[in-house]
Amino acid sequence: MADAKLVARANEVIDRLFALNEAMESADAFCAYLKELNARDVLVKQYLVNPSDVGARHAFSIRWVHAGILRAAIGTITACLDPEDSRRGNRASVGQIIQLLKDKTLVDYFASAGQGSTVALQQAREGYEALLKDDLFDRAKRLRNDVIAHNLIPDTPTPKVHYEDVYDLRDAAERIVTDLFAACVRDSPNCLALRAGTDEQAKLFWDTYERGTVNAPRAARPL
């Protein structure tokens, strides 16, 4: 039977995993709403690039919503991928969890309890190490630090991050989180199950908005 201190350390990992899953659910939602909006020419091109008389009233609203979702997506995904905080140790991030799982006693406990996979843990470690060296992660982290988490005048220009970069980084984070779940609880994170539903909700949201603006010009015309 495991001693109480070991169980407490295991619970610290599980608590962080569940919090990380919730953050990934948010990241999936932000990406879904962003991708669905960008796919709608009538909202993005007509209203944001070349607003018409009908669309002018909505152009700024869509622009700020678009910017807010993009900032939320980048901020959430990079927070999920943050390295450990060695001083406080309170992050529910991939880096913090992997640091906690350097404790072999803890890894053996998950494996012996029949709920953990050492193979999945090694995959998570290798995936995270590779991502930390990837230009994709470096650019996203710089953008987060320069203009989202802070408002800086950097010594060197903040690198560009494209929409596909955001989606690719989300996918990379989700693969690592999935491996960490398999390493500790032999289950899949709930964010995977919710993803299809989130895509449908994003479509419904922008369908509703589009019907209320583009397809109802008299309601959208400035007073």
Q: How many Cβ atoms are within 10 Å of 33's Cβ, its own excluded?
A: 23
Q: Which residues of 169-191 are buried (b: 16+ CB within 10 A; e: fewer)?
A: bbebbbebbbbbbbbbbeeebeb
- Contact call for residues 106 and 9 (beta carbons, < 8 A): yes
Give Cα 134 distance to the centre of its chain.
17
Q: What is the pLDDT of residue 211?
A: 83
Query: From first to last of its 223 residues, what are the pLDDT tens digits of the chain?
Result: 568 999 999 999 999 999 999 999 999 999 999 999 999 876 766 655 555 555 566 777 888 899 999 999 999 999 999 999 988 989 999 999 999 999 999 999 998 876 778 999 999 999 999 999 999 999 999 999 999 999 999 999 999 999 999 999 999 999 999 999 999 987 889 999 998 899 999 999 999 988 877 665 544 444 4
- Which residue is listed with tokens 């996203």? 140
Count CA within 13 A, CB hemisphere, residue 75. Answer: 11
Helices 104-112 and 4-38: crossing angle in degrees, nearest 10, is 80
Domain positions in the chain: 4-217
What is the C-alpha to C-alpha distance for residues 15 and 21, in angstroms, rounded to an integer? 10
Q: What is the pLDDT of residue 221?
A: 45
Quote the tokens at residue 8.
């407490």
